[in-house]
Chains A and B, each alone.
Chain A
Amino acid sequence: MADIYLDNNATTRVDEAVVAAMLPFFTEQYGNPSSMHGFGDKVGRALRQARVQVQTLLGAAHDSEIVFTSCGTESNSTAILSALQAYPERREIITTTVEHPAVLTLCQHLEQSEGYTVHYLKVDKQGRLDLDAYRAALSPRVAVVSVMWANNETGTLFPVREMAELARSAGVLFHTDAVQAAGKIPLDLKSTAIDMLSLSGHKLHAAKGVGVLYLRRGVRYRPLLRGGHQERGRRAGTENTAGIVGLGVAAELVQQHMEYANTVVCRLRDRLEQGIIAQVPNCFVTGDPHNRLPNTANIAFEYIEGEAILLLLNKAGIAASSGSACTSGSLEPSHVMRAMDIPYTAAHGTVRFSFSRYNTADEVARVVEAVPPIVAQLRKLSPYWDGNSNGPVRDPQQAFAPSYA
């Protein structure tokens, strides 16, 4: 039986059609698009087409608003650092506690090393933002707001359209990390007040190593990489031509599958979630189940640890991911779970299943069958679980009295 891949928020399989579109750009169309000869010219055309394909996916007003980069992380860094350079007198940043490290680590660095003041907006237990706190933080001292469109761990969606409007009224640039949202839900940027947006190719069935920064026309901008005139001087460096062409095709395909992803795939996700919850005691869905990506399920299994679950799932041929500390080599569970105040008894045992259009009902049935015995097996080993009552030991923090805590 083929292995089951349910870790599509980490990365996705490159679509066959994308691979086919990319291949000629390695051995035949290998010219430099900047060159003044036929080799370069054809490649230049291909890049223009890809730019339009991405523009269409994002619903951007102009194709020149699309800047190709090397990844989502680069797009995030470029957007935030650009805003800071463009408004040097503004020394504050607004972001959230649940951003991807691509934003969070940068903000922490700017705070510690460059003396910026960063407002980290908190989330509630469902991972929702408090817009009043946001309004209160907005001021002319803020250079940029950076808020993710969808959270990578829980899939929770943030009201970025509304937040961008508020930023615009306050005269503040608004950036969104849409690495998880792009290709999964319609974005239609031209109808929003979003100034900058990040996208990553490998999350939507294109190759790794290609990303996009959307830059609204007229937004003040300072490049991160200076050098040649590529991307109209906004991102120097010879283009990853094959990657960009592939991303164009992937953008088109993902748009064609948008409805499928939001109906059929979404129902598969729901079926998996309900199937597991119905059979496994002491587990729950994290994030905001009523407002999230159609492909993401994040389930917290209490009193067991995520890495152990993943190892057993892997043995059963199922690939998922976890916010557990041990999968990252730290001792702290995921900052997203901590921000949502998920108790430690559950935060270490969160498992994320993330779907793509390639997943099937058959696979869901297999996972729903495999998970309950895995959880039971680990709980049998856990000092916090009572096999007789098949429930947690009474008052787990008390029952287990270690020599240190």
Chain B
Amino acid sequence: MWEYSDTVKEHFFNPRNAGAVKDANATGEVGSISCGDALRLTLKVDPQSETILEAGFQTFGCGSAIASSSALTEMVKGMTLEQALTISNQDIADYLDGLPAEKMHCSVMGREALAAAIADFRGEEWHDDHEEGALICKCFGIDAAMIEQTVRANDLRSIEEVTNYTKAGGGCATCHEGIENVLTRIWGAAPAPAPVLSTAEVVPCGGLTNLQRIRRIEQVLESLRPMLQRDHGDVELVDVDGNVIYVNLVGACTGCMMAGATLGGIQQQLIEALGEFVRVVPASEMKRVAAGGR
């Protein structure tokens, strides 16, 4: 059985804002019945102040999908659209005191529905690059089609490269065999194994000095940059405070549906490189985190 936090259970058993908002002027629909989860988010937005007055959800899905939808509606009420757009899927998960890794896609769905609803309000067209296909990386919700496309487009040969480009495999690593299979299907021979940190890279037991640590962080971000820049985005290091690393996601990445997953992927890379647990947080949240509230 899944280990759901008490907050997830609370929002599942007693969902807030269930049902469609009457006189809604923004609707976002994502998912489908074949995927096993679908969410319709309806918002009533004050056209002058662009403040979200009311939010309602209708969800077909599992416990965490319903809880994520409920949490999302609570979070966005009273926010301006600008503020709402800064909500990442990680924020939704945090609001629920965490989701099991396999269920993170539920929070991504919430984030997507929100973006779709806001686009609807603004008369824009929203679409993401979600592709149908067998899900390979459950941590980041990446399917075979997406991996295959990226592998071909970029001539990727190793699991590490696939992780860098798509985030797939950057979480719990249990899907490495699946990624290998995709690579083998495309290129024939067995791919290079996932790299084990060479001894030179292994973090010394005594830990790193502050300077070494920041350099290591910059190295990791530097290595991820090409992939972000391909999507017309970028990342820069803003500050390091204990185990919290503040970054600026710039360009296309900020509004991008996958911003949350991107941060998650970066975080995973940093955790591996530093050999310690760190949290990657958008610099825009510096005050909030510093104030200790959510």
Contact = CB atoms under 8 A, between A and B. Distances in A.
A347 to B, nearest CB: 9
B29 A400 contact: yes
A382 interface: yes
A331 B39 contact: no
A330 interface: yes
Contact of A382 (B9, B58, B128, B181): B58
Contact of A331 (B13, B35, B38): B35
B200 interface: no
A137 interface: no
B277 to A, nearest CB: 23
Interface in A326-342: 326-327, 329-333
Contacts of A381: 15, 18-19, 57-60, 66
A307 B8 CA distance: 14
Interface residues of A, number: 35
A403 B30 CA distance: 6
A404 B61 contact: no
B26 interface: no
Given A305-B37, A305-B62, A404-B128, A380 B32 contact: no
A214 interface: no
A308 B66 contact: yes
Interface of B (DSSP majority class):
mixed
B65 A402 contact: no
Contacts of B58: 381-383
A260 interface: no
A42 B30 CA distance: 65
Contact of A329 (B128, B130, B138): B138
Given A333-B36, A402-B31, A324 B128 contact: no
Interface string B28-51: 111111111111100000000000
A60 B38 CA distance: 51
Nearest to B40: A383
Given A311-B12, A315-B13, A331-B35, A404 B65 contact: no
A315 B10 CA distance: 12
Nearest to A383: B58
Contact of B134 (A308, A332, A348): A332
A405 interface: yes
B132 A383 contact: no
B101 to A, nearest CB: 9
A345 interface: yes
Given A324-B62, A381-B59, A382-B59, A402 B30 contact: yes
A305 B36 contact: yes
A311 B63 CA distance: 7
Contacts of B105: 331
A404 B130 contact: yes
B261 interface: no
B135 A383 contact: no
A332 B33 CA distance: 11
B127 interface: yes
Among B15, B28, B32, B116, find the residue whose CB has the most chain A CB atoms closer than 10 A: B32
A383 B60 contact: yes
B128 A403 contact: yes
Contacts of A400: 29, 32-33, 38, 40
A101 to B, nearest CB: 15
Contacts of B32: 400, 402, 404-405
B102 interface: yes
Nearest to B116: A403
A402 B66 CA distance: 17
Nearest to B9: A311
A325 interface: yes
Nearest to A401: B29
A306 B36 CA distance: 10
B127 A403 contact: yes
Nearest to B70: A381
A344 interface: yes
A327 B103 CA distance: 10
A294 to B, nearest CB: 27
B187 interface: no
Contacts of B34: 344, 405
Interface string B211-228: 000000000000000000
Interface string A91-130: 0000000000000000000001000000000000000000
Contacts of A305: 36-37, 60-62, 65
Contacts of A315: 13
Given A344-B34, A400-B38, A403-B126, A326 B61 contact: yes
A384 interface: yes
A402 B38 contact: yes
A203 B36 CA distance: 30
B27 to A, nearest CB: 10
B119 to A, nearest CB: 8
A348 B35 CA distance: 9
B64 to A, nearest CB: 8
Given A329-B103, A380-B18, A405-B34, 17 more contacts: A305-B36, A305-B62, A307-B62, A308-B65, A326-B61, A326-B64, A331-B35, A348-B33, A382-B58, A383-B29, A383-B60, A384-B38, A400-B38, A402-B38, A403-B28, A403-B128, A404-B127
25 contacts: A306-B62, A307-B63, A308-B12, A308-B65, A312-B13, A315-B13, A324-B36, A326-B65, A327-B62, A331-B36, A332-B134, A344-B34, A345-B33, A381-B57, A383-B39, A383-B58, A400-B29, A401-B29, A402-B32, A403-B30, A403-B127, A403-B128, A404-B30, A404-B31, A404-B130
